[in-house]
């Protein structure tokens, strides 16, 4: 498995976004070569992504990610850069951000224009290795209705453009609802229909590389993984690692159910998208829809539902999941409701991130 986390690059004094990715990238190359291979750019120069690389199991991926985070926070501090870990920056003007100078992102900007410019967002991606191309697509099929639950659990972006958006995951609204070939994928039923779709996009010059399919879950050709992309960036290391552990358990349980021939109802995309909207709007404070029973249930039950379903896989892999009572969006919204200003809420969250990501070096819980 592998973990990818995106961070905002901030001026420590006022917490504004700063265009310093290229500077940190060059600094890592000269000052910490072990870090340099694990950081990459992600669309804008005020964003940086840290990657664990391949871990043969969950613990190894988490430990690798902790080491890279420690190195990144140390490098950033040495160069007077703060790091933020929420799904959106609460007030930064997207018109002031610069697209990084890479062939891939120049192509993204040219193809999408405003859609790319507006997408100043930060997320958590988790890769889980799956044997067999058909099996990988079938796992993606089975996890489609799970995506809204993971989004509700991870929601961490209630503010944008200096306003309380009223949503819990503004990142999802401006990215998933804006980018093409994004959100909940169709059900494909196997590798060949999926590959035929990618060939169609390439042959019609709709895309030039398969990573331009930005679905919330997708098979990753280069790594041989199922990549889950639905989650907001997490403000604390414990949350990020617990969420990654839960995602690994979901992928493993889906594969286990496929291998065992467990029956499964493939719900229409329109029904799953109804739950995505509920997760975007209300996060864990609202209700989600039980699509089989066709009735709502408290979204706060999403964690327990996933833990119950994944119990066999978690036992097989010895995975422990310990998520906090309130997610990032809930904590931020409660601070704002208590009268804290938006800058103060964000400052509190950035301090929380610095305290956990920079120093969270314990051995993984078992």
Q: Any idea what the CATH number is for the domain that residue 236 is in?
A: 3.30.590.20
**Is 363 inside a domain boundary?**
no
In this predicted structure, the answer to whether residue 210 has a pLDDT above a threshold of 90 is no
In this predicted structure, the answer to whether residue 150 has a pLDDT above a threshold of 60 is yes
Average pLDDT in the 178-186 region?
A: 93
Residues 221-232 as b or e (16 or more Cβ within 10 Å = b): eeeebbbbbbbb
Task: Write out the residue range of the structural domain in which residue 183 sits.
Answer: 2-357
Instruction: Record the tokens describing residue 135, joined without a space.
Output: 């099996």
**Is 26 inside a domain boundary?**
yes
Predicted pLDDT at 362: 44
In this predicted structure, the answer to whether residue 144 has a pLDDT above a threshold of 90 is yes
246 closest CA partner among 60, 50, 3: 3
Spatial contact of 184 and 273, defined as CB atoms under 8 Å apart: yes
Spatial contact of 288 and 149, defined as CB atoms under 8 Å apart: yes
**Is 245 inside a domain boundary?**
yes
Distance CA 30, CA 150 (A): 38
Cα angle vertex 324, ends 155, 153, to 5°?
25
Distance CA 334, CA 203 (A): 50
| Lowest model confidence (mean pLDDT) among 106-115, 161-170, 332-341 | 106-115
Q: Which one-letter DSSP state was computed for residue 144?
A: G
**Is 364 inside a domain boundary?**
no
88 closest CA partner among 325, 332, 326, 302: 332
Q: Which residue has the tokens 């964000």?
A: 346
In this predicted structure, the answer to whether residue 171 has a pLDDT above a threshold of 70 is yes
Q: Which one-letter DSSP state was computed for residue 45?
A: E
Q: What confidence tier does 359 reach under pLDDT thresholds 50, 70, 90?
A: low
Q: What confidence tier does 50 reach under pLDDT thresholds 50, 70, 90?
A: very high
Distance CA 31, CA 34 (A): 9
For 226-236, the pLDDT digits (tens) are 999 999 999 99
The mean pLDDT of the chain is: 94
Distance CA 160, CA 91 (A): 6
Average pLDDT in the 290-312 region?
A: 97
Q: Is 185 helix (H, G, I), strand (E, B) or coil?
A: coil
Q: What confidence tier does 39 reach under pLDDT thresholds 50, 70, 90?
A: very high
* Neighbouring-strand partners of residue 214: 182
The phi, psi pair for 84, rounded to 5°, reads -115, 150
DSSP H or E segment with residue 295? strand 295-298
**Is 331 inside a domain boundary?**
yes
Average pLDDT in the 296-325 region?
A: 96
Predicted pLDDT at 360: 52
**Is 209 inside a domain boundary?**
yes
In this predicted structure, the answer to whether residue 101 has a pLDDT above a threshold of 90 is no
pTM, to two decimals: 0.95
In this predicted structure, the answer to whether residue 361 has a pLDDT above a threshold of 90 is no
Average pLDDT in the 331-343 region?
A: 97
CA 337 vs CA 88, 325, 328, 332: distances in Å: 19, 18, 14, 9
Percent of the chain with pLDDT over 90: 90
Percent of the chain with pLDDT over 70: 98
Distance CA 366, CA 359 (A): 19
**Is 362 inside a domain boundary?**
no
In this predicted structure, the answer to whether residue 364 has a pLDDT above a threshold of 90 is no
Spatial contact of 88 and 157, defined as CB atoms under 8 Å apart: yes
CA 243 vs CA 73, 131, 198, 239, 248: distances in Å: 21, 23, 29, 6, 9
Spatial contact of 156 and 329, defined as CB atoms under 8 Å apart: yes
DSSP H or E segment with residue 40? strand 39-42
Question: 10 Å Cβ neighbour count for 114?
Answer: 10
**Is 191 inside a domain boundary?**
yes
Q: What confidence tier does 317 reach under pLDDT thresholds 50, 70, 90?
A: very high
Q: What confidence tier does 263 reach under pLDDT thresholds 50, 70, 90?
A: very high
Average pLDDT in the 179-208 region?
A: 95
Distance CA 215, CA 210 (A): 11
Domain total for the chain? 1
């Amino acid at each position: 498995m592998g973990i990818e986390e995106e961070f905002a690059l901030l001026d420590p004094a006022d917490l504004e976004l700063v265009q310093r990715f290229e500077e940190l990238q060059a600094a890592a190359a000269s000052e910490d070569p072990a870090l340099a291979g694990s950081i990459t750019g992600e669309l804008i120069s005020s964003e940086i992504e840290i990657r664990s690389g391949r871990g043969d199991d969950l613990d190894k991926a988490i430990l690798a990610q902790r080491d890279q985070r420690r190195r990144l926070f140390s490098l950033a501090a040495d160069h007077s850069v703060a790091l933020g870990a929420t799904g959106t920056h609460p007030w930064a003007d997207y018109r002031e951000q610069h697209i990084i100078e890479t062939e891939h992102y120049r192509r993204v900007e040219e193809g999408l224009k405003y859609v790319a410019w507006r997408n100043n967002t930060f997320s958590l991606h988790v890769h889980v290795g799956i044997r067999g191309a058909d099996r990988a697509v079938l796992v993606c099929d089975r996890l489609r209705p799970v995506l809204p639950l993971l989004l509700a659990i991870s929601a961490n972006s209630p503010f944008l453009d200096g306003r309380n958006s009223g949503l819990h995951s503004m990142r999802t609204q401006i990215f998933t609802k804006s980018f093409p070939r994004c959100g909940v994928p169709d059900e494909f039923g196997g590798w060949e229909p999926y590959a035929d779709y990618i060939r169609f996009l390439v042959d019609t010059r709709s895309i030039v590389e398969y990573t331009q399919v930005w679905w919330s879950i997708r098979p990753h050709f280069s790594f041989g993984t199922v990549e889950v992309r639905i989650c907001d960036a997490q403000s604390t290391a414990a949350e990020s690692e617990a969420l990654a552990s839960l995602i690994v358990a979901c992928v493993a349980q889906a594969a286990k159910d496929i291998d065992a021939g467990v029956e499964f109802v493939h719900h229409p995309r329109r029904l799953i998208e109804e739950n995505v909207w509920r997760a975007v709007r209300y996060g864990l404070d609202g209700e989600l829809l039980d699509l089989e029973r066709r009735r709502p249930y408290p979204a706060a039950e999403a964690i327990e539902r996933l833990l119950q379903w994944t119990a066999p896989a978690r036992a097989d892999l010895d995975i422990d999941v310990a998520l906090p009572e309130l997610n990032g969006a809930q904590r931020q919204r409660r601070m704002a409701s208590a009268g804290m200003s938006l800058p103060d809420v964000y400052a509190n969250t950035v301090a929380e991130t610095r305290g956990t990501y920079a120093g969270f070096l314990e051995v993984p819980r078992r």
